[in-house]
């Protein structure tokens, strides 16, 4: 079956109406060639070994297995049934890990030139199927088309950077004694998880990954199939985190555990790896904050604000908290409210005419209807306890298919002064809910910006460079920007966290390679460990 090509443009139509008469909104339809059934048939055509009529397979011991209990799943876009994870039991997962160790022992002795050639070939295959991988991300985790493409491109470009520059990073280093086990959240399957897998393999390790429970299964399965065809020793399995943790975290065969997710699950993983003395990289959530203090020019914030809502703030480097000097609150609102009112929400694949480009949206659905309801309930509870609603978006302004299920969609909400009893006061919402806290002193500013015991990124907008230089080191974030947002970064940029937002070795650039290889016996890796916090 010939593959249907998805358009690459994400720009809105620039055609103007030819009449001054009022126009009614056009009825929207699913873009031809972008249906889930279209994406599934393309997957079956590209990788029939991994995709069956109605389910995906698990990949372990270098083969695809029709095992595990396949669970039902639906897309957050509109409730369309999609492929669910084939969940393995603990015994099968242990077999998969033991087989991964055998692969690791063979792979680690392969010359670097051969590993490099195989990883480069995998990147070429990912590039070839870039649009299909992005379309799967749209259906499985609700990313708008532009952001789905960006996720795939970041993985491709990032791994190519390592392929081109890996030799000096591996000087006097060797692979770990066992494979790297990856347990990652659903929000960035390509640019975080697939990127990490391929760099770990390039460094000489076999790699094991568990598909996220909430989404990304088919995208990861396709990527794993393309990698396996090039001889990359990858294991991809599905299952309950609790049931598989004994194999994926505690198993003696595992050389390193890489985790991306929330603090509750991360704390359990951290306890396990600490007890075992196992190499680990644990990226956890934190309340990233943007402070406004003695700042007369908020135009950089105005420029950044719409992009801060990309993917509904479902990312580890989102900024859901603004800490504002009270006397600047009016100036802040003059910049903030127009930006948040301009945000575009809707079905990422809905168009008015078949030839229209896919819409340029700021956000689509959250990962599922349960998360949307949880956040809506938290907002309602916070308002009931005294928070002031400054902005509430409406789904009536969104772009949706006629009669579609919109249960997973939550329009942006902004609250002033959430009560201390609310989770929105101290925890990352992982959705399009902003909170604003007003302060009068520098001490209050710092306390509010450090409300979650550590964060990944932060920003402080202030006119005086000396004030920034004095206050920034007291903000407990790994990266702090002066009036500009910070991100996870790509290629050479390092990444980590302070406090409870990170456990174990830092990553990014050569630090990622150091984290998954062995160096001198007395080496102390940069990272956040129980006995030390060592910056690069």
Cβ–Cβ < 8 Å for 194, 155? yes
Q: What is the pLDDT of residue 53?
A: 94
Give the other-Cβ count within 10 Å of 443's Cβ.
10
Q: How sure is the predictor about 423, in pLDDT bands with cuts at 50, 70 and 90?
A: very high
Model confidence over 444-456: pLDDT tens digits? 999 999 999 899 9
Contact 101, 178 (CB under 8 A): yes
CB 122 within 8 A of CB 197: no
Kindly state the average pLDDT of the residues 180-198. 96
Confidence of residue 4 (pLDDT cuts 50, 70, 90): very low
pLDDT at residue 110, rounded to an integer: 97
- In the predicted model, what is the mean pLDDT of residues 293-307? 95
Residues 100-134: pLDDT tens digits?
A: 999 999 999 999 999 999 999 999 999 999 999 99
Retrieve residue 100's tokens: 């991964």
Q: 224: closest CA among 138, 141, 126, 127? A: 126
Asked whether the beta carbons of 269 and 282 are under 8 A apart, the reply is yes
Q: How confident is the model at residue 6 (pLDDT cuts 50, 70, 90)?
A: very low
Q: How far apart are the C-alpha atoms of 313 and 466, rounded to whole Å?
A: 31
99 close to 152: Cβ distance less than 8 angstroms: no
Q: What is the pLDDT of residues 321-339, one digit of tens each?
A: 999 999 999 999 999 999 9
Among 450, 509, 100, which Cα is nearest to 286's? 450
Task: Report the DSSP beta bridge partners of residue 290.
Answer: 322, 459
- In order, the DSSP letters of 422-434 are SHHHHS---SSEE
Mean pLDDT of 89-94: 96
DSSP string for residues in 288-330: -EEEE-S-S--HHHHHHHHHHTGGGG-STT---EEEEEGGGHH
User: Residue 497, SS3?
Assistant: coil
Percent of the chain residues past pLDDT 70, beyond the cut: 95
What b/e sequence results for 368-381 when a residue is b if at least 16 CB atoms lie within 10 Å of its CB, and e otherwise? bbebbebbeebbeb
How many Å apart are CA 206 and CA 165, to the nearest integer?
A: 20
Q: Has residue 373 got a pLDDT over 80? A: yes
pLDDT category, 8, cuts 50, 70, 90? very low
Q: What is the pLDDT of residues 25-61, one digit of tens each?
A: 689 999 999 999 999 999 999 999 999 999 999 999 9
Chain-centroid distance of CA 274 in Å reads 25
Check residue 265 and give its pLDDT. Answer: 75
b/e burial code for range 46-71 (CB count within 10 A of at least 16 → b):
bbeebbeeeebbbbbeeebbebbebe
- Measured at the alpha carbon of residue 136, what is the angle toward residues 131 and 141, in degrees to the nearest 5? 130
Q: For residue 303, which of 488, 489, 479, 484 has the smallest C-alpha distance?
A: 484
Distance in angstroms (rounded) separating the CA atoms of residues 279 and 172:
19
- For residues 73-92, give the mean pLDDT: 97
Task: Encode pLDDT of 245-290 as tens digits.
Answer: 999 999 999 999 999 988 777 777 877 777 778 899 999 989 999 9
* C-alpha–C-alpha distance, residues 302 and 300, integer Å: 5
Give the pLDDT confidence score for residue 25 in this predicted structure.
64
Confidence at 23, pLDDT banded by 50, 70, 90: very low
Q: Could you tell me the two tokens for 104?
A: 């690791």
Q: What is the pLDDT of residue 26?
A: 83
Per-residue pLDDT, 15? 39
CATH architecture of the region 52-284: 3-Layer(aba) Sandwich (3.40)
Q: Return the pLDDT at 5.
A: 43
**Predicted local distance difference test score (pLDDT) of residue 264:** 76
Instruction: Find the Cα–Cα–Cα–Cα dihedral 312, 315, 319, 321, rounded to 10°.
Output: 80
Distances (CA, A) of 522 to 214, 220, 336, 519: 40, 37, 50, 8
φ/ψ of 529, rounded to 5, equals: -115, 165
Q: Which two tokens stand for residue 510?
A: 């050569």
Cα–Cα distance between 145 and 138 in angstroms, integer?
A: 6
Residue 472's Cβ-count burial label (10 Å; 0-12, 13-18, 19+) is middle
So what's the pLDDT on residue 221? 98
Q: How is residue 28 written in tokens? A: 């929207």
Question: What number of other Cβ atoms are within 10 A of residue 182's Cβ?
Answer: 25
- The 8-class DSSP code of residue 515 comes to H
Banded model confidence at residue 241, pLDDT cuts 50, 70, 90: confident
Mean pLDDT of all residues belonging to the chain: 93
pLDDT band at 10 (very low <50, low <70, confident <90, very high): very low
When comparing pLDDT for 77 and 7, which is higher? 77
- Strand segments, DSSP code E, in 31-134 are 58-60, 63-65, 69-70, 73-74, 81-82, 86-87
DSSP result, 428-486: ---SSEEEEEEESSHHHHHHHHTTTS-EEEEEEE-S-HHHHHHHGGGS-EEEEEESS--
Mean pLDDT confidence for 212-222: 96
Residue ranges covered by each domain of the chain: 52-284, 289-488
- Least-confidence region, from 82-91, 157-166, 264-273: 264-273
- Say if residues 85 and 220 touch (Cβ distance below 8 Å): no
Return the pLDDT at 16: 39
Q: CATH code for 289-488? A: 3.40.309.10
More confident residue, 530 or 383: 383
Q: What is the pLDDT of residues 463-519, one digit of tens each?
A: 999 999 999 999 999 999 999 999 998 899 999 999 999 999 999 999 999 999 999
Three-state secondary structure of 235-294: EEEECCHHHHHHHHCCCCCCCEEEEEECHHHHHHHHHHHHHHCCEEEEEECCCCEEEECC
Q: Closest by alpha carbon to 326, among 435, 445, 422?
A: 445
* pLDDT digit string, tens, across residues 190-216: 999 999 999 999 999 999 999 998 999
The residue among 378, 342, 379, 382 whose CA lies nearest residue 363 is: 342
Nearest to 510 by CA among 28, 166, 185: 166
């Amino acid at each position: 079956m010939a593959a249907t090509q998805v358009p690459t443009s994400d720009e809105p139509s620039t055609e103007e109406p030819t009449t001054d008469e009022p126009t009614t909104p056009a009825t929207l339809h699913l873009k031809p060639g972008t249906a889930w059934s279209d994406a599934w048939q393309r997957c079956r055509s590209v990788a029939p070994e991994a995709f069956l009529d109605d389910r995906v397979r698990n990949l372990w011991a270098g083969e695809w297995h029709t095992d595990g209990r396949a669970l039902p799943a639906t897309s957050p876009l509109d409730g369309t049934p999609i492929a669910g994870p084939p969940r393995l039991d603990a015994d099968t997962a242990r077999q998969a890990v033991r087989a991964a160790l055998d692969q690791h022992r063979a792979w680690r002795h392969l010359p670097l030139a051969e590993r490099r050639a195989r990883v480069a070939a995998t990147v070429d295959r990912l590039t070839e199927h870039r649009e299909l991988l992005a379309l799967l991300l749209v259906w499985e985790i609700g990313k708008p088309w532009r952001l789905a493409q960006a996720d795939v491109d970041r993985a491709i470009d990032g791994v190519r950077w390592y392929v081109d520059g890996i030799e000096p990073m591996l000087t006097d280093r060797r692979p770990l004694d066992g494979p790297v086990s990856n347990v990652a959240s659903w929000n960035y399957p390509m640019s975080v998880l697939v990127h990490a897998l391929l760099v770990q393999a390039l460094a000489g390790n076999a790699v094991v990954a568990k598909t996220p429970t909430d989404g990304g299964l088919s995208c990861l399965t396709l990527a794993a199939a393309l990698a396996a065809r090039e001889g990359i020793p990858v294991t991809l399995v599905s299952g309950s985190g609790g049931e598989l943790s004994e194999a994926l975290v505690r198993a003696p065969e595992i050389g390193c555990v890489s985790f991306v997710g929330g603090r509750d699950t991360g704390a359990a993983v951290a306890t396990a790896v600490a007890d075992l003395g196992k190499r680990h990289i644990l990226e956890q959530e934190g309340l990233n904050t943007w402070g406004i203090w003695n700042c007369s020019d908020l135009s950089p914030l105005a420029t950044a604000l719409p992009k801060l809502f990309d993917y509904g703030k479902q990312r580890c480097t989102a900024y859901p908290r603004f800490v504002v000097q009270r006397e600047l609150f009016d100036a802040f609102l003059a910049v903030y409210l127009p930006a948040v009112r301009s945000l575009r929400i809707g079905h990422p694949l809905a168009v008015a005419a078949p030839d229209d480009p896919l819409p340029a949206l700021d956000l689509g659905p959250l990962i599922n209807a349960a998360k949307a309801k949880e956040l809506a309930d938290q907002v309602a509870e916070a308002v009931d306890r005294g928070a002031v609603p400054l902005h509430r978006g409406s789904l009536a302004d969104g772009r949706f298919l006629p009669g579609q299920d919109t249960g997973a969609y939550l329009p942006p909400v902004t609250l002033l002064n959430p009560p201390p009893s609310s989770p929105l006061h101290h925890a990352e919402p992982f959705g399009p809910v902003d909170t604003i806290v007003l302060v009068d002193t520098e001490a209050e500013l710092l306390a509010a910006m450090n409300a979650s015991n550590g964060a990944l990124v932060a920003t402080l907008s202030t006119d005086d460079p000396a004030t920034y230089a004095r206050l920034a080191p007291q903000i407990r974030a790994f990266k702090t920007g002066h009036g500009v947002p910070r991100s996870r970064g790509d290629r050479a940029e390092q990444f980590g966290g302070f406090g409870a937002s990170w456990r174990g070795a830092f990553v990014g650039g050569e630090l990622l390679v150091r984290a998954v290889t062995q160096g001198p016996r007395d080496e102390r890796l940069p990272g956040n460990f129980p006995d030390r916090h060592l910056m690069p």
